[in-house]
Structure 1
Amino acid sequence: MLEQLKEGEYVYIQSFKHDGSLHRTWAMGYVIEANAKRAVVVTNHTLVSESDGRKWITREPAICFLYPDKWYNVICMIRKTGIHYYCNLASPSLYDGEAIKNIDYDLDVKVNPVGKTTLLDEDEYREHMMQMGYSSALDKAINKGLDKLMVDIRLKNSPFDHTEIYHLYDKYLDMMEQSRKEGKN
């Protein structure tokens, strides 16, 4: 359903927890690509709301990759020090006409600009697995997603190719410039 999104439009992004509670929202992401395989959305100085009521604004442009068939999504943050990747183990994403939605499953992988990876939140994953009753099939799907993610990182498959990220960021800048000229922004 991600292919229903339209390039050049803004979309709301919602992440939930397994129990159905809202985890985090992004007030707007700018769609630069949408098809049956993925949605590529840019957040830039975007309002983020956390489940505990905290609100903050993203500091740098980020290119977000959301997939309808992968158990992870990837946020590529473009910083002065290079591209930093933050990967969320999550259910496949869907678009329901209101927002892009997925379920966050706690585990995260950070990748620095030279490719060093750090696995985060293993304790939180184990805790939520017990509290929310993740099934063994769900645990298997999440861990299979983690394995696939680590292979993609190691092989520099999309979106872990810096050249692709810079190309997409240039596309975003061109689209924003075109919108500005047309008086849309």
Structure 2
Amino acid sequence: MSFPKTGSKIQIQSYKHNGLIHRIWEETVILKGTSKVVIGGNDRILVKESDGRQWRTREPAICYFDSEQWFNTIGMIRADGIYYYCNLGSPFTWDEEALKYIDYDLDIKVFPDMTYKLLDEDEYQLHRRQMNYPKVIDTILQRNVQELISWIHQRKGPFSPQFVEMWYERFLQYR
């Protein structure tokens, strides 16, 4: 299997457990693409929602996807610091069309001081019932919420000092 090449532009697609498309990010530049990790950068890109709405991101961002973790992160570069939006979802797949994952509703927002807030627990409970998430998914996601919080506390992976800044510098080379 080939993986997205450094410097190439890809689409990111998130789906729901029922297989329906949830959201599409139109253009992300690949900064690193391997079977284990994909790191991408984007800035003010078009995002399409499943209900037809469209919007643009407001700031540059560095995205981190890991093939072994049930979460991905978006480090958003703002004037007052780096904010992270972390999606609990399946590990990514790549199929030449797009980088894809299943979004499981739960999110963690991390602030520049590394405090965080778990979001959308009500949405998770609703979709869990509506889409019949298997018990194993619930177990995996709860374990990965704890793993993600551990990464935040340890400043591991995309939360490590200078991670977003370093990859943003590389992103600027492709603009």
Instruction: Pick the TM interval, shorter chain.
Output: over 0.9
Question: Residue 83 of structure 1 contacts residue 162 of structure 1 at CA under 8 Å; is this kept in 2?
Answer: no
Aligned-pair distance for 1:158?
1.0
Q: Secondary structure at the match of 2:67?
A: coil
Question: Residue 89 of structure 1 contacts residue 107 of structure 1 at CA under 8 Å; is this kept in 2?
Answer: yes
Distance 1:62 1:93 in 2: 18
Structure 2 residue 83 is the aligned partner of structure 1 residue 84: yes
Aligned-pair distance for 1:67?
1.5
Q: What TM-score do the two structures reach when normalised by structure 1?
A: 0.92
Q: Aligned letter for 2:113?
A: V
Q: What TM-score do the two structures reach when normalised by structure 2?
A: 0.97
Structure 2 residue 116 is the aligned partner of structure 1 residue 153: no
Aligned-pair distance for 1:36?
2.4
Distance 1:86 1:164 in 2: 15
Distance 1:175 1:144 in 2: 37
Distance 1:71 1:19 in 2: 17
Match of 1:131 in 2: 130
Which ranges in structure 1 are unaligned for 5 or more consecutive residues? 177-185
Match of 1:16 in 2: 15
Percent identical across equivalent pairs?
42
**Root-mean-square deviation over aligned CA pairs:** 1.0
Aligned-pair distance for 1:175?
3.4
Q: In the TM superposition, what whole-angstrom CA distance separates every residue of 1:28-84 from its partner, at most 9, and x where no partner exists?
A: 100011112210011211100011111001110100001111100000000001000
Distance 1:38 1:144 in 2: 20
Structure whose CA Rg is larger: 1
Aligned-pair distance for 1:161?
1.8
Question: Residue 84 of structure 1 contacts residue 110 of structure 1 at CA under 8 Å; is this kept in 2?
Answer: yes
Distance 2:93 2:66 in 1: 8
Match of 2:93 in 1: 94
Question: Residue 78 of structure 1 contacts residue 84 of structure 1 at CA under 8 Å; is this kept in 2?
Answer: yes
More helix per residue = 1
Match of 2:109 in 1: 110
Which ranges in structure 2 are unaligned for 5 or more consecutive residues? none
Match of 1:70 in 2: 69
Q: How does 1:164-183 map to 2 (within 5 A)?
A: 164-176=163-175
Question: Residue 82 of structure 1 contacts residue 113 of structure 1 at CA under 8 Å; is this kept in 2?
Answer: yes
Match of 1:179 in 2: none
Distance 1:22 1:56 in 2: 16
Distance 1:39 1:102 in 2: 12
